[in-house]
Amino acid sequence: MLFNKIITLSLNPVADITCYLNEFQIGEENRVENELYDAAGKAVDVSRVLQSYEIPNTALIVAGEENSKRYFERLKDENVTTRIIFTQGRLRENITIISANGVQTRLMRQGPRLKHKTIDELEVALSEEIRPTTLVVVAGKMPEGITSPILCEICAFIKEAGGIIALDTQSVTMEDIAKIRPWVIKPNFEELSNLVGRELDTIGKVKQAAIEIADQGVRHVLASLGGEGMVYTDGKVTYKADVPELSEIKSTVGAGDAALAGFIIAHDYKYDVPRSLQFSAAFGTASCLVEGTNPPRRISVAMVNNQVNVYEI
């Protein structure tokens, strides 16, 4: 199954501001040596990676209008196609402070609360954008005003219009997943543990947890495990991807988003499952070699891809 169109849905986008310091001291003045500004958010990050590989897509974004000008200028610079629904309030900002020793501190601001009027506008936009076999990437932290029932309703609306869902959000429960039944879901280790409600201290337990999610009607489960690689299952066959150890990590923010984008790109390339998992793991790992939430470089993806080991477990 190939997608005739790809939409990424961002209900709570975020500007990622990364500040580099020689030393960070609480209670003291701290001089910023360098600063990066990225237009981000999980769904937007997926769009940026897809665009960097020339995979056509549209980022459908609900954004607070007060401070979003720079955000959308940055996306325009990256040639990301957007459809924007403005709402009252400020676009969310995450501030990451990185000291010379690599220690990171994150300050996470709140975004706007979405009202029913905005949700109605969103459904109009979705109805105009979605066609049968349109992939809709629903990703990121849900804003205030989007409860689990409302999120499930939005996903039901997408599927009724013929859309196919890729899901990557911490804002769902196992019961929600059973209702949404996404084509692919990509929890990280912590999210996977929270979904099944228990500690996962072995790969065997990770495998079992992933299978339990697949049993909810999910076609593909991609569990990202940081430096431990990834686990994939469709409920019947399970694979593990081991990734190379990196000598230098510049940023881990957005690695999971890059991994999801890599899986989607692999599907577009008609790769089989083991090769798709290998590609996904390579994208996630290579993204750690760039600053901020920038898409991984193609040369880095190719280099890492040759070092990813995929095997059945």
Same domain, 13 and 32: yes
d(CA 148, CA 168): 14
Same domain, 17 and 152: yes
Counting residues of the chain whose pLDDT is more than 70, the rounded percentage is 100
Same domain, 30 and 165: yes
CB-count burial class (<10 Å; 0-12, 13-18, 19+) for 34: exposed
Which secondary-structure segment (H or E) carries 287? Answer: none
Same domain, 28 and 164: yes
Same domain, 25 and 166: yes
100 confidence band (pLDDT: 50, 70, 90): confident
Q: What is the pLDDT of residue 136?
A: 98
d(CA 213, CA 292): 31
Q: What is the pLDDT of residue 91?
A: 95
Which of 182, 213, 245 is the C-terminal boundary of a domain?
182
User: Tens of pLDDT along 292-312?
Assistant: 788 999 999 999 999 999 999
Cβ density class 112-131: b for 16+ within 10 Å, e for less: bebeeebbebbeebbeebbe
126 pLDDT higher than 80: yes
Same domain, 132 and 217: no
Q: What is the pLDDT of residue 60?
A: 98
* CATH assignment of the domain containing 252: 3.40.1190.20
CB-count burial class (<10 Å; 0-12, 13-18, 19+) for 194: middle
User: Tens of pLDDT along 205-237?
Assistant: 999 999 999 999 999 999 999 889 999 999 999
1 pLDDT higher than 70: no
Which of 134, 167, 182 is the C-terminal boundary of a domain?
182
37 pLDDT higher than 80: yes
Strand partners, 6: 135
Which of 182, 200, 221 is the C-terminal boundary of a domain?
182
276 pLDDT higher than 70: yes
Pairing, β 309-312 against β 238-242: antiparallel
Average pLDDT across the chain, whole number: 94
Same domain, 177 and 216: no
Same domain, 162 and 225: no
User: Tens of pLDDT along 141-198?
Assistant: 899 999 999 999 999 999 999 999 999 999 999 999 999 999 999 999 999 999 999 9
Q: What is the pLDDT of residue 252?
A: 83
Same domain, 258 and 172: no
Domain that holds residue 103: 1-182
Same domain, 3 and 146: yes
Asked if residue 19 lies in contact with residue 95, where contact means CB atoms within 8 angstroms, the answer is yes
Provide the domain count of the chain: 2
Cα dihedral: 148, 81, 273, 201 (round 10)? -40
Nearest to 222 by CA among 310, 160, 133: 310
Q: 295 to each of 127, 196, 253, how far by Cα in Å?
A: 29, 31, 11
Q: Write the DSSP string, 111-161.
A: -PPPPHHHHHHHHHHHHHH--TTEEEEEESPPPTT--HHHHHHHHHHHHHT
Same domain, 81 and 226: no
Same domain, 156 and 206: no
Neighbours of 235 (CB within 10 A): 17
